[in-house]
């Protein structure tokens, strides 16, 4: 039977499937070798990678070839050797080979950046083509890349011709009855594959690298596209709603706050007896700034002399953790003070307007609020989110769209204000100059201001203005050093401003440079720096308690002596009843760290519990007490419930 298939119209289909599996095998082997130094693989684990990987690769090959399977079934026998069939076959093969080779290259570069198969990030990147194409063009020689892919396609054609595959593919000899049996079987398997096979089938090991290597890139991409948002109530472990809110409200209740009487609400009034101080607040949210880039946290490469100096003389959180692995997840935490929920960040979801953001609290105190971004704020729905929640917008955007709800409160950064720009936006120095200009305008209007600033220089392609620092372009360490330099220049400039004495500057990361590790959620890869500069009467002080990004503003508001109505999950870390904890997430996994207890929630009602040893970053599987697990579930269950039902609205 196999010999018959390889000698008729199905020959090309058979060789395509076989070739795809072989190249996928080589790619998987290459990624495995690339990861050997970063994690330990058991013999059983490696065997699972290849066996399960073969299943995923076969599934992808069948799905890619499904149209050709149907074509071969319906093509009349008399047209097998016709010009029409040859043209149609060559077009299909060229297109499939181009897609496959391009995706294989994309998988390699994606793995270099995220150490993962395609996920929601790849889906986002496909949507935002302007930034991504320019980023690829600046990071890699795009003409050479496309030319190389085309050469591989040509090589594949020559190889198939040498094997006389085309000669056999255009031979007659397969009657309709036999085609129905063969194509029918293939099509049934192809249709059943996505119904029976799930990407989560590969997530069975505590070794994240092992799970990712067992997957296939294209299959992972479409799985991520399908699962952009997960319904917590359908996929995750639940506890009774009243118990969930009771546990969360118990944590949020303290001597400073009065909770709403509604059992399913976290609204509360925070009463502060101190005299309120209302400084201007500028928050610099630094792209991908892991704590371990700083000398203050042990780095020996002297990448951040400015930040290290500030850490020695100002207020610094030494054990703060990011809630996620994307910029929009950090924005969600810093603006909404809410634990992450599965799927995309709230920044990117529908019905995310008029929320009780940190900006809303500033608004109640008479502040102007501006979101500054050096790229196009259309990316990741940032402008829409901040605009609908009361912020003015200043970004590099390519044009004003009068149909946007935020257009009347949006300013574009002009060409003559830019010294350097790459695919992701203007350099940090230019962005900070724009912030200074906007702050001057707010000061002249006699209003205090809150500026949410998002940088881009520490992002691939890692390019920045020449002759600023003595480090090469195009690598992460150089970009970190340049960002540190730009922050130093910014602080030197604003110190001469009349509004500086009454201005607090926050420097914090949106997330770490990479959250990939040997575990599904590697706690050390979420550790971020956070410092508050120029607080009045404040000498160097460290806050060593484990805390989350969501705790920044409740703690700051306490330091400033504010009383305010809020709907935030974040807590004042300095309050005597505060219980140290942090929230960490991927797109599907949700983690709760309390002391050395780590609870990880996943789809299919999965609950994993560990003892976490920070000293060696080790997660040891143990059975945790029921209350800790319920507390973890309570936070995520209520956060999802409140957002979906409008409970986070103003």
Q: What is the DSSP letter of 519?
A: B
C-alpha to C-alpha distance for 236 and 27, rounded to whole angstroms: 33
Q: What is the DSSP letter of 420?
A: -
Residues with Cβ within 8 Å of 434's Cβ and at least 6 positions away in sequence, in order, are 372, 394, 413, 417
226 pLDDT more than 90: no
User: 109: which 2 tokens?
Assistant: 């570069």
Encode pLDDT of 430-448 as tens digits: 999 999 999 999 999 999 9
225 pLDDT more than 80: no
Cβ pair 296, 305 in contact under 8 A = no
Mean pLDDT in residue range 625-633: 97
Mean pLDDT in residue range 249-256: 90
Encode pLDDT of 444-469 as tens digits: 999 999 999 999 999 989 999 999 99
What CATH homologous superfamily does 235-644 map to? Alkaline Phosphatase, subunit A (3.40.720.10)
pLDDT at 604: 76
Residue 26: other Cβ atoms inside 10 A: 10
List phi, psi (to 5°) of 269.
-110, 125
Mean pLDDT in residue range 405-418: 86
Q: Strand runs (DSSP E) across 433-521, as ranges?
A: 449-454, 503-509
Numbered ranges of CATH 3.40.720.10 in the chain: 235-644
Q: Is the dihedral of CA 440, 285, 535, 272 positive or negative?
A: positive
Burial class, 36, CB count within 10 angstroms (exposed 0-12 / middle 13-18 / buried 19+) = exposed
Encode pLDDT of 260-307 as tens digits: 999 999 999 999 999 999 999 999 999 999 999 999 999 999 999 999
C-alpha to C-alpha distance for 45 and 28, rounded to whole angstroms: 13
Encode pLDDT of 26-67 as tens digits: 999 999 998 887 777 889 989 999 999 999 999 999 999 999
Average confidence score pLDDT of the chain: 91
227 pLDDT more than 80: no
pLDDT at 403: 63
Cα 618–chain centre separation: 24
Cβ pair 528, 508 in contact under 8 A = yes
Encode pLDDT of 388-400 as tens digits: 999 999 999 876 7
C-alpha to C-alpha distance for 328 and 341, rounded to whole angstroms: 12
**Comparing 21-25, 405-409, 450-454, 518-522, which segment has the lowest mean pLDDT?**
405-409
C-alpha to C-alpha distance for 619 and 175, rounded to whole angstroms: 60
Mean pLDDT in residue range 346-351: 90
pLDDT at 132: 64
Mean pLDDT in residue range 606-623: 94
Residues with Cβ within 8 Å of 174's Cβ and at least 6 positions away in sequence, in order, are 8, 9, 10, 77, 182
Cβ pair 530, 508 in contact under 8 A = yes
Cβ pair 211, 204 in contact under 8 A = yes
Cis geometry, peptide bond prior to residue 174 (ω within 30 degrees of 0): no
Cβ pair 591, 584 in contact under 8 A = yes
pLDDT at 517: 63
C-alpha to C-alpha distance for 387 and 381, rounded to whole angstroms: 10
| % the chain with pLDDT above 70 | 93
Encode pLDDT of 197-213 as tens digits: 988 888 888 788 888 89
Continuous segment of H or E residues that includes residue 429: helix 428-444
């Amino acid at each position: 039977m196999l010999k018959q298939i390889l000698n008729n119209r199905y020959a090309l289909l058979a060789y395509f499937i076989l070739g795809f599996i072989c190249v996928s095998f080589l790619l998987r082997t290459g990624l495995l070798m690339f990861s050997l130094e970063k994690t330990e693989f058991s013999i059983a684990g490696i065997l699972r990678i290849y066996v399960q990987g073969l299943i995923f690769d076969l599934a992808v090959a069948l799905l890619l070839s499904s149209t050709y399977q149907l074509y071969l079934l319906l093509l009349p026998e008399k047209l097998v050797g016709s010009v029409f069939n040859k043209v149609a076959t060559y077009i299909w093969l060229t297109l499939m080979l181009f897609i496959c080779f391009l995706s294989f290259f994309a998988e390699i570069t994606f793995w270099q950046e995220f150490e993962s198969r395609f996920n929601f990030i790849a889906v986002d990147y496909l949507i935002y083509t302007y930034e991504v194409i320019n980023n690829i063009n600046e990071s890699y020689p795009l003409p050479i890349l496309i030319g190389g892919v085309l050469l591989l396609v040509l090589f594949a054609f020559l190889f198939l011709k040498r094997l006389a595959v085309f000669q056999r593919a255009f031979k007659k000899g397969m009657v309709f009855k036999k085609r129905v049996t063969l194509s029918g079987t293939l099509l049934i398997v192809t249709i059943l594959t996505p119904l029976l096979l799930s990407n989560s089938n590969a997530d069975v090991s505590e070794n994240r690298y092992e799970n990712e290597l067992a997957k296939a890139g294209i299959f992972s991409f479409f799985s991520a596209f399908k699962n952009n948002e997960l319904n917590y109530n359908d996929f995750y472990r639940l506890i009774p709603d009243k118990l969930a809110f009771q546990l969360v409200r118990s944590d949020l209740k303290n001597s400073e706050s009065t909770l709403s009487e509604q059992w399913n609400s976290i609204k509360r009034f925070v009463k502060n007896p101190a005299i309120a101080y209302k400084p201007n607040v500028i928050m610099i949210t630094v792209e991908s700034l892991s704590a371990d880039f700083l000398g203050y946290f042990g780095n020996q490469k002297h990448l951040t002399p400015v930040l290290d100096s500030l850490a020695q003389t100002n207020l610094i959180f030494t054990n703060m953790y990011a809630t996620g692995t994307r910029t929009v997840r950090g924005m969600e935490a810093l603006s909404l003070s809410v634990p992450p929920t599965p799927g995309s960040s709230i920044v990117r979801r529908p019905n995310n307007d008029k929320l009780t953001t940190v900006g809303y609290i500033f608004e109640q105190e008479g502040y102007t609020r501006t979101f500054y971004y050096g790229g196009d704020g259309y990316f990741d729905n940032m402008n829409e989110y901040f605009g609908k929640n009361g912020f003015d917008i200043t970004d590099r955007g390519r044009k004003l769209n009068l149909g946007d709800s935020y257009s009347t409160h949006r300013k574009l950064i002009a060409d003559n204000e830019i010294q350097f720009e790459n695919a992701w936006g203007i350099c940090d120095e230019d962005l900070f100059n724009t912030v200074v200009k906007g702050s001057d305008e707010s000061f002249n209007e006699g209003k205090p201001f809150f500026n949410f600033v998002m940088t881009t220089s520490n992002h691939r392609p890692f390019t920045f203005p020449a002759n600023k620092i003595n480090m090469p372009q195009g690598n992460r360490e150089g970009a970190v050093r340049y960002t540190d330099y730009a922050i130093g220049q910014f602080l030197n400039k604003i110190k001469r401003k009349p509004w500086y004495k009454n201005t607090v500057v926050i420097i914090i990361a949106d997330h770490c440079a990479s959250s990939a590790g040997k575990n599904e959620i590697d706690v050390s890869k979420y550790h971020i720096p956070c410092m508050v500069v120029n607080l009045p009467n404040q000498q160097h002080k460290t806050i060593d308690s484990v805390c989350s990004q969501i705790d920044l503003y409740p703690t700051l508001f306490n330091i400033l002596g504010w009383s305010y109505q809020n709907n935030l999950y974040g807590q004042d870390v300095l309050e005597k009843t505060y219980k140290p904890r942090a929230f960490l997430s991927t797109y599907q996994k949700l983690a709760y760290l309390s002391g050395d207890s780590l609870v990880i929630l996943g789809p299919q009602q999965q609950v994993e519990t560990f003892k976490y040893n920070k000293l060696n970053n080790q997660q040891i599987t143990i059975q945790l007490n029921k209350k800790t697990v319920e507390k973890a579930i309570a936070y995520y269950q209520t956060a999802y419930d409140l957002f979906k039902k409008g409970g986070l609205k103003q």
